[in-house]
Amino acid sequence: MTTLTATLRELYEGDTRRAHRFRYVLLVFDVATIAFVIVTSFLPLIPWIIACDVALGVFVLLDFAARLGISRTPLREFRHLSTWTDLVAVASFLAPVLVEGVGFLRILRTLRLLRTYHLLERLRQDSELFRRNEDAILAATNLVVFVFTMTGIVYATQHNTNPAIQTPIDALYFTVTSLTTTGYGDITLPGPTGRLLSVFVMICGVTLFFRLAQVVFRPYKVRFPCDACGLQRHEPDAVHCKACGNLLNIPDEGAD
């Protein structure tokens, strides 16, 4: 193992303070990238935006190469959806002129980082807010990613042929009205492909929306795996597992 590989593996997978800081920097980068993508997707493609796109694309490509380089089974990485979303993100950053319409697809990269095991574990340790709202945060992230991904796909496939889709705002408007099943009807996607895309937005969007509503409005529970049956979620003050009756020892910071 080379020194570079060892260093990268420690940063991406290690449990040192430096590794934790490094992964938080990546998280901040992803959040800033999402903000940049959303804002600039509604602006004309001017030179400074193209330059920023290319710079971000190079950074994402380096990050992707580093993750692939430290993998013990690189070829197996391509069996994971997250690997392909990284490739889509890199392509959309490095080819802003040719694939302007799929700029929203760059937001897909956030799913990979938020689903990284080490980062999730660290967030659970460091943030009480994250521990209490983990399911809601992940559900909201999935919904937001879906909305902007579908917005990019709708805009990329329709803006040259559908007079009703002139800007990314039109595509965003159509996506939101479709997934909420409001369907005002002022914007439609013609043809079999357009109808199938509309159906996909409605079915998947409603599913993600109800998932978010479910985790937001259901009673609060903590994650603590039962040693006997493996049940993950329990009431904060539970003494016994409600599934098997096993004695629990849920950590409690005590009342304020």
Tens of pLDDT, residues 43-65: 777 888 888 888 888 888 898 89
Is 179 within 8 Å of 120 (Cβ atoms)?
no
Q: List, by residue range, all CATH 1.20.120 domains of the chain.
A: 1-125
Which one has a higher pLDDT value, 201 or 45? 201
DSSP state of 164: T
Q: What are phi and psi of 165, to 5 degrees?
A: -110, 90
In this prediction, residues 146-161 reach a mean pLDDT of 85
Tell me what pLDDT residue 36 has. Answer: 85
Residue 196 pLDDT class (50, 70, 90 cuts): very high
Average pLDDT over residues 145-166: 86
Give the residue-averaged pLDDT of 9-36: 86
Nearest residue to 16 (alpha-carbon basis) of 24, 27, 4: 24
Backbone phi, then psi, for 220, in 5-degree steps? Answer: -70, 135
The dihedral sign for the CA sequence 243, 247, 249, 255 = positive
Amino acid at 139: A
Confidence of residue 253 (pLDDT cuts 50, 70, 90): low
Query: What CATH class is the domain 1-125?
Result: mainly alpha
Structure tokens that stand for 204 in this block: 């998947």
Determine the average pLDDT of the residues in 1-10: 84
pLDDT value at residue 103: 64
From 5-9, 78-82, 104-108, 224-228, the region with the lowest mean pLDDT? 104-108
Give the global pTM: 0.73
> 75: number of CA atoms within 13 Å, CB side?
0
Domain 127-217 is found in CATH 1.10.287.70? yes
Helix ranges restricted to H, 71-127: 81-94, 109-114, 117-126
Question: The tokens of 51 are what?
Answer: 């330059």
